[in-house]
Amino acid sequence: MRLNDLFSAPSASASSLLTTLLLLTPAPTSAFYLPGTAFPTYKHGDQVPLFVNHLTPADRDHDTQVRSALAFDYYHPAFHFCKPDGGPQNVRESLGSILFGDRIQTSPYVLKMGVNETCKAACKSQELGLRDVKFVGKRIYQNFNLNWDVDGLPAAQLKFDQDTNSEFFSPGFALGEIRDEKPALNNHYDIVVEYHQAGPDAFRVVGVLVQPSSRADSKYLGEGKAECGDENKPLYVPEKGKLEVTYTYSVIWVPSSTTFATRFDKYLHVYDPKIHWFSLINAAVIVTFLISMVSTILIRTLKKDIARYNRLDQVNLDDLSGTGIADEGVQEDSGWKLVHGDVFRPPKNPLLLSVLLGNGAQLFMMTGFTIAIALLGFLSPSSRGSLATVMIVLYTLFGFIGGYVSSRVYKFFHGDAWKQNFAYTPVALPGLVFATFFLLNLFLWAKQSSGAVPFTTMLVMLLIWFVISVPLSITGSWVAFKRPSVDAPVHTNQIPRQIPPAGGYLRPIPCALLVGALPFGAIFVELYFIMNSIWHGKVYYMFGFLFVCYGLMIMTCASVTVLMMYFLLCAENYHWQWRSFLSAGCAAIYVFAYAMIYWIRSLSFASWTSGVLYLGYSALISVLFFVLTGTIGFFATWLFTLRIYRSIKVD
């Protein structure tokens, strides 16, 4: 996964600038750097580091399908890429960066600031054996990209977006290409580095493009020298047999007027701003429609209901005949008041529900704050994996909220298995995520893919979780446990009421499908861009859109659940607790279905391992989404029921 690539942003063109401004996206420029940050500066002739990252699948212009979900280590033995003297070293990375797949290592490529080089050998010729040739050929068919990093900038290819009529840098460049239906391996790289002069003999790197090419008759001459072959004679990867490869490169330094602070702007490209607008307007229309519907229906009917109930009460009080006939008058009345003696009856499995809600609340806070932080421009694309790192840190810290909410809900449900509640809350969701990651990792290890999270990283995650998150969660649970419970406005009767059978859309499954569709409707276009950034490696920086969409989704989810639960209560069914959670959570089914459609439409995996990975990640994301929307639905309904039952008089 390349979630860390979830950045992108506005290019300089006027239309997207407008989009940017309107969408509250931070000015991408200096916002990424705090004032006073020392920018890396080089003197003429200083060596600029070139690091290599993992190889990732991509789509090509002639082929919009991504064919793999795996990523490979740059120094995977089959590639035989040149290694630096003394072997490659790992470069320090943030936790988020490692978790989302970055494997950054040193390389033999020497870039000297401002010194042009033509045709240098990266190392002596490499011989690819039978199996290596097969492996490399397959990776070329799957459109794998090399990902290099020069002074913190991803090496890119220049692309042109016809929709917005603008050029932009697309990170990564091709391992090889298909020529005459045969795979050709790129063994020469023209590295174009744009530099900016910041002072006398002070230069900064502000852009990196790599133009790879395939040259069959390159020769290694010894001592770092080489002879570069003709570009028009590609180095084909044979189906059978060995292959001798000479890797060569040239370095071209081009002065540029781009300043260091704005060097990422070219990379942050907005794909289809029109579709983004469409998505936003679409969501806004749904939400306005829903909220006006909910408010008119509910407020009007409720006012009438409450007035009627209270008038009937008045009649009862006036009519002091004491025969109980008047009471029956109320009883015969229909509507949600009838279930007042049951509406706050604890649901079945209160422990499970409270644990899920606690975890949902934690997820809710984490998502909201992450998007807000990204929106404010604190997630610099120059520090890799910052998005993932922020997510992990926030999730850990919000452990307190998770514990608190779980415990508070549990108390309201009159639960008594407190130890279990305390223990399960911090374990449930992280446990699930760990288990999924671990299982998927087994596949990745078996495939020697670099996507596998290193064992030590897993240990670090466990440590963070045990040392910080679990104690925070337990503290939260304890605080809520000590507080008095939320007051139910009406008493619960001893004997549960019979629930009359309900038909139509109030049956569990139609109800859930109906409720789930609308929050999904609020986000589905945005989902397309997120999926593109995860699986197609397209940079995503539309946090302004995402923030608004998140808000709209919350409102849709809350209002449609409340509306449905109102109908449910009117039908004298008081099992709103699980129903609200499950119905709202049903949006996740649509998300999963969407992921499957996306698979059919824009991915065509060549191996079943990729399929398993895709399924695994999709299922995991859907489950998280289920808990998130379910929690929103439950709390909206809870507040609603407390509110309406508080406003009626019950004797």
Which among 2-10, 29-37, 251-259, 452-460 is the span making contact with ligand NAG, rule CB under 6 A? 251-259
Greatest distance between any 2 Cα atoms in the chain = 113
Which among 88-96, 232-240, 250-258, 392-400 is the span making contact with ligand NAG, rule CB under 6 A? 250-258
Which positions ≥6 away from 86 have C-beta within 8 Å?
none
Applying the rule CB under 6 A, the residues between 389 and 418 that interact with ligand NAG are none
Q: Does 253 bind ligand NAG (CB under 6 A)?
A: yes
Of residues 117 and 227, the one with the C-beta less far from ligand NAG: 117
CB of 119 to ligand NAG, least distance (A): 13
Could you tell me how far CA 464 lies from the centroid of its own chain? 21
CB of 170 to ligand NAG, least distance (A): 22
Provide the mask over 55-94, with x wherever binding to ligand NAG is found by CB under 6 A and - wherever it is not. Answer: ----------------------------------------
Token readout for 195 is: 């530099």
CA distances from 394 to 368, 371, 381, 390 (A): 10, 11, 19, 6
Which among 12-20, 95-103, 248-256, 341-349 is the span making contact with ligand NAG, rule CB under 6 A? 248-256
CB of 147 to ligand NAG, least distance (A): 25
- Tell me the C-alpha distance between 562 and 565, whole Å: 5
DSSP states of 493-530: PSSPPPPPP--GGGSHHHHHHHHHHHHHHHHHHHHHHH
Q: Does 130 bind ligand NAG (CB under 6 A)?
A: no
Interaxial angle between packed helices 543-570 and 576-585, expressed in degrees from 0 to 180 and rounded to the nearest 10: 140
For ligand NAG, which residue of 1, 91, 252, 432 counts as binding (CB under 6 A)?
252
Which among 49-57, 132-140, 249-257, 284-292 is the span making contact with ligand NAG, rule CB under 6 A? 249-257
- Tell me the C-alpha distance between 616 and 624, whole Å: 12
For ligand NAG, which residue of 21, 22, 254, 486 counts as binding (CB under 6 A)?
254
- Tell me the C-alpha distance between 117 and 249, whole Å: 8
Of all residues in this chain, which one has the CB nearest to ligand NAG in the complex? 116
Strand ordering across the sheet containing 148-150: 105-106, 50-52, 148-150, 153-154
CB of 15 to ligand NAG, least distance (A): 31
Please state, as a whole number, how many other Cβ atoms lie within 10 Å of the Cβ of residue 72: 23
Query: Hey, which residues does 144 pair with through a beta bridge?
Result: 57
Of residues 254 and 593, the one with the C-beta less far from ligand NAG: 254
Phi, psi angle pair for 65, to nearest 5°: -100, 140
Of residues 22 and 254, the one with the C-beta less far from ligand NAG: 254
DSSP 306: H
Of residues 135 and 195, the one with the C-beta less far from ligand NAG: 195
- 293-300 own/partner pairs: CB under 8 Å, 24+ apart: 293/563, 294/559, 294/560, 294/562, 294/563, 297/563, 297/566, 298/562, 298/563, 298/566
Of residues 197 and 457, the one with the C-beta less far from ligand NAG: 197
How many residues sit in the footprint of ligand NAG (CB under 6 A)? 5
Q: Tokens 């490869």 identify what position?
A: 245
HSE-up (13 A, CA, CB side) for residue 492: 14
Cβ atoms 159, 167 nearer than 8 A: yes
Q: Does 437 bind ligand NAG (CB under 6 A)?
A: no
Of residues 116 and 334, the one with the C-beta less far from ligand NAG: 116
Of residues 114 and 430, the one with the C-beta less far from ligand NAG: 114
Provide the mask over 99-128, with x wherever binding to ligand NAG is found by CB under 6 A and - wherever it is not. Answer: ---------------x-x------------
Of residues 71 and 251, the one with the C-beta less far from ligand NAG: 251
CB of 252 to ligand NAG, least distance (A): 5
Residues 565-599 as b/e (b if ≥16 CB within 10 A, e otherwise) read bbbbbbbbbbbbbbbbbbbbbbbbbbbbebbeebb
Of residues 251 and 518, the one with the C-beta less far from ligand NAG: 251
Of residues 115 and 285, the one with the C-beta less far from ligand NAG: 115
CA-wise closest residue to 334 among 567, 532, 116:
567
Binding site for ligand NAG (CB under 6 A): 114, 116, 252-254
